[in-house]
Amino acid sequence: MKQSPIISPSLLSANFAQLANEAAEVIDAGAQWLHVDVMDNHFVPNLTMGPIVCEALRRSGITVPLDVHLMVTNPENLIDAFAKAGASIISIHAEVTPHLDKYVQHIRDVGCKAGLALNPSTPLHHIPYLLEKLDMVLIMSVNPGFSGQRFIPAVFDKIRHVREMIDHSGLPIRLCVDGGITVDNMASVSRAGADTFVAGSAVFNAQNKQTAVKQLIASVDGCS
Ligand code: DX5
Ligand code: ZN
């Protein structure tokens, strides 16, 4: 069953010199989570933020769940540090390790919710064996590395398949879609089965960030 809809604006598109202010602005408009894209210039060709940024957000008074998306090789080296820095959900990529079960369990052991992230072309065969330990499946709808890319339409089928897997399990697992989400495709992504929506450029590059968040929320509510 779908969980209640959540918008998780991706801070990757925010103005880093104004991070806490921009975060507060989107939360004020109704965003329930903040999405933190961690890139290592190894798994993906970009370099972004580490635990220190989560810690700074917490220290600035941000209390909403921090949804940390680890696009890194060796995610196991960062789990404890992100948990300590205030992460709430930590997602690791299926492509980076043969030890998914171990690391997903570790995320829960340090008190965070565990997510499994999959690139657009990554098959779903790991999911049935991990469902009991997962709080979220994160389907990438662009190739990870940058914000502002176009949504890949082939991912719609994948979202439907994951929705079936989650529903079949009866577990309260979130289905998150990340990449290229806009007000125009939000309703279709929601109809395909997503309940958790990451949006970077659609929020932070909008003329009015608060209106953008509200429009995204309205598009999902209209069809769930
Ligand atoms: C891509 C990141 C996404 C990205 C989303 O590697 O994981 O979270 O920042 O940005 P938009 O919504 O602009 O595609
Ligand atoms: Zn992301």
d(CA 195, CA 176): 6
Could you identify the atom of ligand 1 that is nearest to the CA of residue 39? 6
Domain covering 6-221 in this structure, CATH number:
3.20.20.70
Q: How far apart are CA 172 and CA 132, in angstroms?
A: 10
Structural domain spans, the chain: 6-221
pLDDT score of 6 more than 80: yes
pTM (two decimals): 0.98
Residue 222: predicted pLDDT? 52
CA distances from 117 to 4, 51, 177, 185, 217 (A): 20, 19, 9, 21, 23
Instruction: Please choose from 138, 140, 146, 185 the residue to mutate so as to test ligand 1's pocket, defined by most ligand atoms within 8 A of CB.
Output: 146
The residues near 95 (Cβ < 8 Å, ≥ 6 apart) are 43, 118, 119, 122
Structure confidence by residue, pLDDT tens digits, 16-64: 999 999 999 999 999 999 999 999 999 999 999 999 999 999 999 999 9
Pocket test for ligand 1, best of 89, 93, 118, 147 (most atoms within 8 A of CB): 147
pLDDT, tens digit (0-9, with 9 covering 90-100), for 69-126: 999 999 999 999 999 999 999 999 999 999 999 999 999 999 999 999 999 999 999 9
Cα distances from 1 to residues 104, 123, 146, in angstroms, run 22, 22, 31
* Distance separating alpha carbons of residues 49 and 201, to the nearest angstrom: 17
How sure is the predictor about 150, in pLDDT bands with cuts at 50, 70 and 90?
very high
